[in-house]
Amino acid sequence: MSLSGPVIEAQEADRMQWWKAAKFGLFVHWGLYALHGKGEWHMSGAKIPVKEYEKLAERFNPVKFDAREWVALAKAAGMKYIVVTAKHHDGFAMYHSEHDPFNIVDATPFRRDPLKELAEECQREGLRMCFYYSHVIDWHHPHAIHEFYNNTWDYPLEEKAFYAYWNRKAKPQVKELLTKYGPVGLIWFDTAGGLSKKDSQEMIDWVRDHQPTCLINSRVSHWPQYAGDYSSKGDNEIPMHGEDSRPWETPMTLNDSWGYQNKDQSWKSSEALIRKLVHVASKGGNLLLNVGPTAEGDIPDESVERLKAVGRWTSRFGEAIYDTTPSPFHYEQEWGAITVRDTTLYLLIHGPYWSKGGIDLYGLNNAIRHAYVLQGDEDADEARKPLSVQQHYHAAVGLHQLHITLPPSAPDDVVSVVALELDGKPHVDPRWLQLPTGDIRLDIAHAEVKSGGEAGNEAGWSFTMLEPGEFDVVMIAFKRFNQEWSAHCHQEVIATVAGQQVSCIPAVDKLLEDTPTCQHPYEEVHSVLGRVQIRQPGEYDIRLQSAWVKEKTGFFEAWQAAPIRLRSLQLVKVAP
């Protein structure tokens, strides 16, 4: 029974404080599966019998494991919390569990408790220790039952008795994680398909009873009203500005795998990782960045070098990330991202845009008291040297336009930061404004959705045109990498603006695999719906009718992720 009310809300707000300030954490997927080197789902994929899988434990001896090294690496990266797999779907406990001998102390020659060593090191170094726990899927236990992912190759489904697992393994193990490892920052539950509302609430209450300040992520349940303290987005999923009505976190892989996969060499570049951290923070989320240690207990060199590179950036510019609030604009800027701290606006500018000598920002209604470049080294000569800013008021449309002249050399090649100290809290124009590039970006998350006819629901926006011209109407969608566009795209999409209508069955006119908002397992698809003329400045309405426009529930959970997800509509200026 939830006793919601001012006291409870205050407790919840207080509980979340450290997490909201932290912004950046380390995810660790480590288990027996590292011996195969084929990831944490290999037991299921290969239907490995429990008796065979158990033999892995006899040769799991991660002698290279060093808690001080792991925590030092997380700290060097600028991470504030560590979420380690205590028990993944294979049922093996990576800590000394009294409730199942299938654990790292009792079943392996290693005989040490790495989670105990990590918890102690985190306490010494001031990081929050957190645990991932697969509370519904368990391929080792004969009675675990998930909606879809069960070990039916050893245990016939009809012979399973869920509560034998739930009351004798899942709940007791969560209790020992909450009573034997000191203060726990959060429990990261996962894949709750099939768990009832009653059992969802029971697990939430169970955590609260043992550590009231321990946070719970949304994957504790598939029922929206039992979704813990914050939203875990889908793997590698970065939402749009304002898409999620709750605090959220993107779990992200460094390559394409969670558990150690020796063949997976599709590593994200350090530059891309820094831009994603910046982008996630500017949208108000946390980034939980994953490593998959080997069976010997060390973190792959490729992961280490990337975390250290991110750390070299956060150590210089973390002021623009930690304990900040999201951009007050509900659309992305061409040149980068924005975060806020009290009355300071941070402009986080991607390298290639710095070299253009200046950037523009429309719709900031504040006066600027001081503008300067974060040098990342307070002793630098240039530190806080005033920048030249020009503010112009576009009377025709009532718009404040800002131009900032940038010095020739950027402090950092990947992302450099300009700080704007304002005359008060940021106050921005709430309209959808044409960007300085001439384009207009309209996120579906902010559309007004009306139920439509057979062509699908209708998304609508109003926007402000400053510089008229000729525009391509472009639909942006995310497609899961293993889905064929043509298999899902049969219906015409219709866009209407300035008295003109364009329509077509969208094609893949451009496919991007890596942008600040999109990475594996998604691909960003741009589809040109047609071309329109807008000849006068002023306010316009635009409508998009498509089967992919969904009713807004205010609660986006990734497991509802369709193979294709509409993200935004853009007017891309092609001619004055």
| Residue 244 interacts with ligand JFZ (CB under 6 A): yes or no | no
Rounded to a whole number of angstroms, the minimum distance from the CB of residue 477 to ligand JFZ is 17
Rounded to a whole number of angstroms, the minimum distance from the CB of residue 251 to ligand JFZ is 5
Instruction: Count interface residues toward ligand JFZ (CB under 6 A).
Output: 11
Q: Which is nearer to ligand JFZ, 150 or 333 (CB)?
A: 150
Q: Which residue of 215, 387, 402, 558 would you call a contact of ligand JFZ, by CB under 6 A?
A: 558
Q: Which is nearer to ligand JFZ, 191 or 434 (CB)?
A: 191
Q: Which residue of 62, 185, 251, 336 would you call a contact of ligand JFZ, by CB under 6 A?
A: 251
Q: Hey, how many other C-beta atoms are within 10 angstroms of the C-beta on 159?
A: 8
Amino acid at 354: W
Q: Which residue of 161, 382, 481, 559 would you call a contact of ligand JFZ, by CB under 6 A?
A: 559
Q: Given the rule CB under 6 A, which of 308-316, 389-397, 420-428, 553-561 is the region that contacts ligand JFZ?
A: 553-561
Q: Are 135 and 216 in contact (CB under 8 A)?
A: no
Between 257 and 276, how does the x/- string for binding to ligand JFZ read (CB under 6 A)? Answer: -x------------------
For the beta sheet containing 128-133, the strands, ordered from the edge strand earlier in sequence to the opposite edge, are 215-216, 186-189, 128-133, 81-87, 24-28, 286-291, 248-252, 231-232
Q: Which is nearer to ligand JFZ, 289 or 528 (CB)?
A: 289
Q: Residue for token digits 């500017």?
A: 282
| Residue 498 interacts with ligand JFZ (CB under 6 A): yes or no | no
Residues 6+ apart with CB under 8 A from 150: 137, 139, 144, 157, 160
Q: Which residue of 25, 26, 40, 543 would you call a contact of ligand JFZ, by CB under 6 A?
A: 40
Q: Are strands 128-133 and 81-87 parallel, antiparallel or unpaired?
A: parallel
Residues 6+ apart with CB under 8 A from 436: 334, 359, 360, 361, 362, 401
| Residue 191 interacts with ligand JFZ (CB under 6 A): yes or no | yes
Q: Which is nearer to ligand JFZ, 567 or 573 (CB)?
A: 567
Between 161 and 190, how does the x/- string for binding to ligand JFZ read (CB under 6 A)? Answer: -----------------------------x
CA angle 57–110–141, rounded 5-degree value: 35
Structure tokens at 464: 């402000």
Q: Which is nearer to ligand JFZ, 95 or 258 (CB)?
A: 258
Rg of the Cα atoms in the chain:
25
Q: Are 132 and 84 in contact (CB under 8 A)?
A: yes
Q: Which is nearer to ligand JFZ, 91 or 411 (CB)?
A: 91
Q: Which is nearer to ligand JFZ, 87 or 350 (CB)?
A: 87
Residues 205 to 234 in contact with ligand JFZ, rule: CB under 6 A: 234
Q: Which is nearer to ligand JFZ, 234 or 284 (CB)?
A: 234
483-490 own/partner pairs: CB under 8 Å, 24+ apart: 483/563, 483/564, 485/525, 485/564, 487/563, 488/563, 488/564, 489/564
Q: Are 303 and 347 in contact (CB under 8 A)?
A: no
Rounded to a whole number of angstroms, the minimum distance from the CB of residue 265 to ligand JFZ is 19
Q: Is the dihedral of CA 269, 275, 278, 282 positive or negative?
A: negative
Rounded to a whole number of angstroms, the minimum distance from the CB of residue 338 to ligand JFZ is 27
Q: Which is nearer to ligand JFZ, 217 or 324 (CB)?
A: 217
Amino acid at 564: I
Q: Which residue of 100, 121, 176, 235 would you call a contact of ligand JFZ, by CB under 6 A?
A: 235
Q: What's the burial of 166, exposed, middle or buried (CB within 10 Å: 0-12/13-18/19+)? A: buried
Q: Is the dihedral of CA 123, 125, 128, 131 positive or negative?
A: negative
Shortest-Cβ-distance residue relative to ligand JFZ: 234
Q: Which is nearer to ligand JFZ, 30 or 540 (CB)?
A: 30
Contact positions vs ligand JFZ (CB under 6 A)? 40-41, 190-191, 234-235, 251, 258, 558-559, 561
